[in-house]
Structure 1
């Protein structure tokens, strides 16, 4: 947590589900309940179960709201969406609830208005504004994600091979996360293992 003008900004919560309804959940941490809105009710477990969320703290003169995300990349994209003129937290949350992280970034980079207009409340004018204001910014997000994956020359070869097969940076990151290889494992064997894991996740 950090302070902004005397207000504590929360970046992450790790607690238990006290109550939930729709896309809203109360996270209980040491007897204090944090009221959080999330993109998808499916990420909320049963009452009493543990929940971990990356948090964006939205501060206004008359309100302080918490928005929760399962992955930190989603929170970063949410933050980026708020830089677009006319896009507030509700609209940004609606975009992330409708489109996956990868689908949204690809729609911006390829200027795909049809995909963006799938989001309720997003018409042609707003879709064009999103593309105009975000093209450079989402490209940077995609680059940052790939940099988090590549830690060696082998990782770079695996990343490029999987990307060439049509997998997104986020899918590749999830596939390689926690994967261990024997010292004498070849690049081909590593790619094959990653593909097997990706096939199970899709």
Structure 2
């Protein structure tokens, strides 16, 4: 049987993608999987598929905080109430998503740790990581000043800009209606896509993993 594979398409902007990332990274359930984290740009979904985010409706905007808090309590995910600085669209996540693409290329072994640090700063500490003056020191703290500087320069290249665009287009073309978008390949090589943190249990079942619950974190 081949190793199971899991690909998480994410944008820091999506709180539900944060929940999916945290559980996938930290739960022992997924330790036997080859995991790939793919940065995309959520604002591109608005024009491409007419995505309407939760904050487009006052009731949805209020409800999603209640919903997320419940999930976080159930799965022991770090979370504080409130919204991050500059959220939702005062400043887009374009630059920090490019930094994450660059990080995946320059230091793939540290990439999950950088992503974890940025997610924690954004959704737990509520810092505006969209801004370079906020996310650059966080990257440096994880990988060191020299490598961080290399990553930041790389993030401004046409290669990285093109990759982020390609990632986003590929996710949308595969049917993604929003984030998190998950591609799973089981031990028999069968492939399925799943949308939303609330379908992570279906991902576990499809991959033939043991049942997911909060005790695994």
TM-score normalised over the length of structure 1: 0.32
Give the strand-richer structure, 1 or 2. 1
Give the helix-richer structure, 1 or 2. 2
Higher relative contact order (CA 8 A, sep 6+): 2
